[in-house]
Amino acid sequence: MKQAPKGSVIRVGFQGEHGSYSEEAVLRYFGESAEPLPYKSITSVFVAVETGEASAGVVPVENSIEGSVGETYDSLLTTSLRVVGEINLRISHCLIGLPGAKISELKRVYSHPQALAQCRAYLASLGLEPVSYYDTAAAARLIKEMGDKSAAAIASARAAGIYSLEILASGIEDYGRNYTRFLVIGREPSTRSGRDKTSIIFTLPHRPGALYEALGVFARRSINLTKIESRPTRARPWQYNFYVDFEGHIDDEVVREAMSELAQKALFVKVLGSYPAWINKNQVA
């Protein structure tokens, strides 16, 4: 699903406004064949793909500094969509303001809560008030509309260009190895690539050793787990859904055997999809 036929356009939903990191992930994955469609929330992206308003969606699932994106995990549980791809995007934040603005005169900085958190120490060192907004690029647009030189935004260099703002400082994230992983969602499964990952959800009975036994299903077959995350089921206090990513394709014989055994141990199992693992030669390990 990675590329549309030459000359055609694929409509791809993302959360945020034009100039956001999510839109950058769309363009990085689909290239010029993409028509990015902005939505206010991650949930709205899932709805757009389910209804056919968008052919695919790109949603953030975890950040290497601030951790997982709960709204994405919760939407994966309830959706009928498939995970068909992933992108690891290097996030480099810029402090941007109106032309002529000076850092010494700033008082407030607007951005998405995750971006503010990723630049927490930098903002504290300048004594600036962080103000949460629903999207980094939307925060940049807000600064443009406000016309207040004492206010700035944390967003991408691309957003600064789109909204005719000035980059006051770049690379302001507290940790240099700052990456966000995005998932590509679609209505049809991805084809096997030979370097695949699979994502699943399962729920276990609340008894000693249940998780140990479930993970043993993969360990005994030398299936490498690349991610494990727990989220409350919301159906019962202190019961959790486990989100697991592992190397291999759901059609691999060893994976089918593991999933069959897991189904006997779990209360609930859902396969989210098998998809090509992202390869980025420029990413620092």
The residues annotated as belonging to the active site are 180, 182
3-state SS assignment for residue 60: strand
CA distances from 23 to 20, 35, 37, 59, 89 (A): 5, 10, 8, 10, 11
8 Å CB contact between 59 and 185: yes
Q: Which residues pair with 179 in a beta bridge?
A: 90
Integer Cα distance of 19 and 140 in angstroms:
9
Integer Cα distance of 11 and 8 in angstroms:
10
Task: Give alpha helix (H) positions in 63-183.
Answer: 70-78, 113-118, 120-126, 136-146, 157-162
Closest CA to 266 of 205, 207, 217: 205
> Helix crossing, 42-51 with 70-78: angle to 10°?
30
CA distances from 184 to 2, 62, 142, 155, 257 (A): 9, 13, 28, 22, 26
3-state SS assignment for residue 22: helix
Closest CA to 3 of 24, 41, 33: 33
Q: What is the number of other CB atoms lying within 10 angstroms of the CB of residue 61? A: 23
